Chains A and B, each alone.
Chain A
Amino acid sequence: MSIFADADTRLVVQGITGKEGQFHARQCVEYGTRVVAGVTPGKGGQKMDDIPVFNSVAESVSEAGANCSLIFVPPPFAADAIMEAADAGVDLIVTITEGIPVLDMMRVKHYLKIRAARLIGPNCPGIITPGEAKVGIMPGPIHKAGGPIGVVSRSGTLTYEVVYQLTLQDIGQTTCIGIGGDPVNGTNFIDCLAAFEADPDTRGVVMVGEIGGSAEEQAAEFIRQNMSKPVVSFIAGMTAPPGRRMGHAGAIISGGAGTAQGKIEALKAGGAHVCEDLGRIGEFCAKVF
């Protein structure tokens, strides 16, 4: 089992004929994901390798049976692409695009409340259920299929580091999700924790957070009240100075809020096992799980 993406995922890649979209669509195919369609407005009828390209997401749903979209569209057109996918009726929308204006994402977030689709991202590496489906840009080979651990993170390469150490310890993953580093995103920590809690094959969760906002504090409260499965957590940014944006648009300590220390304390109080040394997180997980 897994959450949100699995062997039944039928992927459409929005922006498939662009440089990044093309490269990563091929990587997804190579991993074994069923990439059933691509969308580039104006290039309908063409093919990218063997993948049919459509003018709209709606066509990719009706013609190719797509149920999940992966978006590589540049920032000025990303909000449009997300809402188009939601209107077309896909179940899951994974947005890799970095640099979408905040107001655009706010409108998208409110719009999605009246649509069934789940959004992951933006500014994220995507989601992978090892051995079944890779919907994103993460390196496939570092993962180990079969579970029993779920991973959820606000970061990209930091997640790869954590997953890699899990795999070295022979700890497989059910699903790994990057929820993205932007201040306004779709799926949050709590959505993922709840789904992992409900997934019978997931026996524990690694949650990777960072400075800024209060998503980790809210997750800590959720863990305290709702999680029966063990949660290991790591928070990046102990040494980050206040008031400076640390790469990710959402990674900023402002007005004394959003510090790593505050998040670690909240997570400990919520019953999570907090690992403060990334270099040892694999060993740490081996002990906890």
Chain B
Amino acid sequence: MKIHEYQAKQLFSEYGVAIAKGGVAESPETAKAVAETLGGFPVAVKAQIHAGGRGKGGGVKIANDISEVVKHAGAIIGMNLVTPQTGPGGQPVKRVLLEKGLNIEKELYLSLTADRESAGILIMASEAGGMDIETVAEQTPEKIIKVHVNPLTGIYPYHCRQAAFGLNLDKELIKPFSQMLTALYKLFVDLDCSLVEINPLVITQEKQLYALDAKVSFDDNALYRQKEVVEMRDFDEEDPVDVEASKYNLNYINLDGTVGNMVNGAGLAMAVMDTIKLAGAEPANFLDVGGGATAEMIENGFRLILSDKKVKAILINIFGGILRCDVLAKGVVEAARNTEINVPLVVRMEGTNVEEGRQILADSGLDLQTARDLKDAGEKVAALV
């Protein structure tokens, strides 16, 4: 789960990490009121959407007086912001964050991530702040300092010193930097984060550290114990199809092809997509109905697939284990009737009670083809589109 920059900065503030003075506005009028409380200019006007690359899309502007605040806020609020991360459709902007400008001397990069390789928390820091960190990692990997923290012991001063010396910080900044990094680590662990990123982390001419940007995302598996985090969720920022799928407990991802498909199990679902491609067609989606799919889930799966008008045929591939093929077949027949499927259907089933399942499909009167095996299924569905 992702949150907005202004929400991430509220969390930073609660944990004692310095942020620029600022506030949020949902209209040019409130933007003006917020800017007046900041006590001076310039003021940054920043679009609040989840996607990164906002500056490139015109979502971040600097205002040098109050009239510019109103002008920029008016232009940004309500705009459809297209950035490299939003996709060509863009994302409508509902609110802006206004922040008092800082006298920046240097920009750094700092992040904490849940690192799967080391099964620990990975701190990454770099003097190449303000740049895309993946580009830095690719072109000048020596500029990135990596510090691994064991999740059982937590962060110690030497972890912080390692990052601080690696960043070539002035002596008087080492202590405040260490305090800040320790606070960020605490935030990360307390709130079950998957990423905490500050890019740039700035050193001002007054030798103060500020988080100029803030990106925080959370482990979805841990949301059950993070009520405060869940309250920050903004459904407007999520793809409505994803929201719909998560409501039904389905894993659905929309793709560009024409062959809809429904599979039990994530690995098999990916492999079925690949099979469709090998047979000469393109998958329209990824859809995993899980090991314990019910008739209702299968019906909802059909609805999701059919909501994509590009779909010209559907392939169902179920390897019945715990989910018996006869139960599945009944579900398919019911779902097909209730959702009025208007595209051809290819069904491949294998596993427990497969004979009964095939009989149910054969007796249903539905216009569908059954496939002997996966290879046959791929070829049959590719011939239909």
Please give, as numbers and ranges, the residues of chain B lying within 8 Å of A107 by CB-CB distance. Answer: 151-152
Please give, as numbers and ranges, the residues of chain A lying within 8 Å of B288 by CB-CB distance. Answer: 246-247
Please give, as numbers and ranges, the residues of chain A lying within 8 Å of B375 by CB-CB distance. Answer: 277, 279-280
Most chain A CB within 10 A, of B219, B253, B268, B351, is at: B268
Q: Which parts of B243-280 form the interface with A (CB within 8 Å)? A: 251, 253, 255, 263-278
Q: Is there a chain A Cβ closer than 8 Å to B222's Cβ?
A: yes
Please give, as numbers and ranges, the residues of chain A lying within 8 Å of B270 by CB-CB distance. Answer: 158, 210-211, 236-237, 239-240, 246-247, 251
Cα(A276)–Cα(B116), bound, Å: 26
Q: Which parts of A260-289 form the interface with B (CB within 8 Å)? A: 260, 276-280
Q: Which parts of A76-104 form the interface with B (CB within 8 Å)? A: 76, 99-104
Q: From the candidates B134, B267, B278, name the one contacting A276 in the complex (CB within 8 A).
A: B278
- The minimal Cβ–Cβ distance linking B133 to chain A, given in whole angstroms, is 9
Please give, as numbers and ranges, the residues of chain B lying within 8 Å of A118 by CB-CB distance. Answer: none
Please give, as numbers and ranges, the residues of chain A lying within 8 Å of B271 by CB-CB distance. Answer: 158, 161, 234, 236-237, 278
Inter-chain contact B321/A155, CB cutoff 8 Å: no
Q: Is there a chain B Cβ closer than 8 Å to A238's Cβ?
A: yes
Contact with B along A95-128 (1 / 0, CB 8 A): 0000111111111011100000000000000000
Q: Is there a chain B Cβ closer than 8 Å to A255's Cβ?
A: yes
Contact with A along B362-385 (1 / 0, CB 8 A): 000000000001111110000000
Tally chain B residues at the interface, Cβ within 8 Å.
56
Q: Which parts of A129-157 form the interface with B (CB within 8 Å)? A: 137-139, 141-142, 153-157
Cα(A160)–Cα(B268), bound, Å: 9
Q: Is there a chain B Cβ closer than 8 Å to A41's Cβ?
A: no
Inter-chain contact A106/B321, CB cutoff 8 Å: no
Cα(A86)–Cα(B123), bound, Å: 30
Inter-chain contact B322/A137, CB cutoff 8 Å: yes
Q: Is there a chain A Cβ closer than 8 Å to B301's Cβ?
A: no
Q: Is there a chain B Cβ closer than 8 Å to A75's Cβ?
A: yes
Q: Is there a chain A Cβ closer than 8 Å to B117's Cβ?
A: yes
- The minimal Cβ–Cβ distance linking B266 to chain A, given in whole angstroms, is 3
Using a Cβ cutoff of 8 Å, how many contacts connect chains A and B? 176
Inter-chain contact B221/A101, CB cutoff 8 Å: yes
Inter-chain contact B152/A247, CB cutoff 8 Å: no
Q: Which parts of A179-222 form the interface with B (CB within 8 Å)? A: 181, 183-184, 208, 210-211, 213-214
Inter-chain contact B268/A103, CB cutoff 8 Å: no
Inter-chain contact B116/A76, CB cutoff 8 Å: no
Q: Which parts of B62-81 form the interface with A (CB within 8 Å)? A: none
Inter-chain contact A155/B268, CB cutoff 8 Å: yes
Q: From the candidates A154, A241, A248, name the one contacting B253 in the complex (CB within 8 A).
A: A241
Inter-chain contact B120/A106, CB cutoff 8 Å: yes
Query: A237-B274, A279-B373 in contact; A106/B151 too (CB < 8 A)?
Result: yes
Inter-chain contact A251/B151, CB cutoff 8 Å: no
- The minimal Cβ–Cβ distance linking B314 to chain A, given in whole angstroms, is 17
Inter-chain contact A277/B268, CB cutoff 8 Å: no
Inter-chain contact B319/A278, CB cutoff 8 Å: no
Please give, as numbers and ranges, the residues of chain B lying within 8 Å of A44 by CB-CB distance. Answer: none
- The minimal Cβ–Cβ distance linking A210 to chain B, given in whole angstroms, is 5
Please give, as numbers and ranges, the residues of chain A lying within 8 Å of B278 by CB-CB distance. Answer: 276-277, 279
B351: nearest chain-A partner, CB-CB: A139
B222: nearest chain-A partner, CB-CB: A101
Q: Is there a chain A Cβ closer than 8 Å to B150's Cβ?
A: yes
- The minimal Cβ–Cβ distance linking A116 to chain B, given in whole angstroms, is 18
Contact with A along B338-381 (1 / 0, CB 8 A): 00000000000011100000000000000000000111111000
Q: From the candidates A100, A110, A276, name the one contacting B151 in the complex (CB within 8 A).
A: A110
Please give, as numbers and ranges, the residues of chain A lying within 8 Å of B12 by CB-CB distance. Answer: none
Inter-chain contact B116/A250, CB cutoff 8 Å: yes
Q: Is there a chain B Cβ closer than 8 Å to A4's Cβ?
A: no
Please give, as numbers and ranges, the residues of chain B lying within 8 Å of A158 by CB-CB distance. Answer: 265, 267-268, 270-271
- The minimal Cβ–Cβ distance linking B48 to chain A, given in whole angstroms, is 21
Please give, as numbers and ranges, the residues of chain B lying within 8 Å of A75 by CB-CB distance. Answer: 221, 224
Q: Is there a chain B Cβ closer than 8 Å to A31's Cβ?
A: no
Cα(A123)–Cα(B314), bound, Å: 28
Q: From the candidates A101, A164, A238, name the one contacting B219 in the complex (CB within 8 A).
A: A101
Please give, as numbers and ranges, the residues of chain A lying within 8 Å of B137 by CB-CB distance. Answer: 255
Q: From the candidates A24, A109, A251, A279, name the one contacting B119 in the complex (CB within 8 A).
A: A109
Q: Is there a chain B Cβ closer than 8 Å to A249's Cβ?
A: yes
Query: A139-B351, A277-B375 in contact; A244/B253 too (CB < 8 A)?
Result: yes
Inter-chain contact B120/A157, CB cutoff 8 Å: no
Q: From the candidates A23, A138, A279, name the one contacting B275 in the complex (CB within 8 A).
A: A279
Inter-chain contact B189/A236, CB cutoff 8 Å: no
Q: Which parts of B55-108 form the interface with A (CB within 8 Å)? A: none
Inter-chain contact B321/A102, CB cutoff 8 Å: no
Please give, as numbers and ranges, the residues of chain A lying within 8 Å of B291 by CB-CB distance. Answer: 137, 156-157
Q: List 29 A-B contacts (CB under 8 A).
A: A75-B221, A101-B192, A101-B222, A102-B221, A103-B189, A103-B219, A107-B152, A110-B119, A138-B321, A139-B321, A139-B322, A155-B266, A157-B268, A158-B265, A160-B321, A164-B319, A184-B116, A213-B116, A236-B271, A239-B276, A239-B283, A241-B253, A246-B253, A246-B269, A246-B288, A247-B270, A247-B286, A278-B274, A278-B374
Ranked nearest first, the 8 interchain pairs of A and B with the lowest CB-CB distance are A155-B267, A247-B266, A279-B375, A157-B265, A158-B267, A101-B222, A183-B116, A139-B321
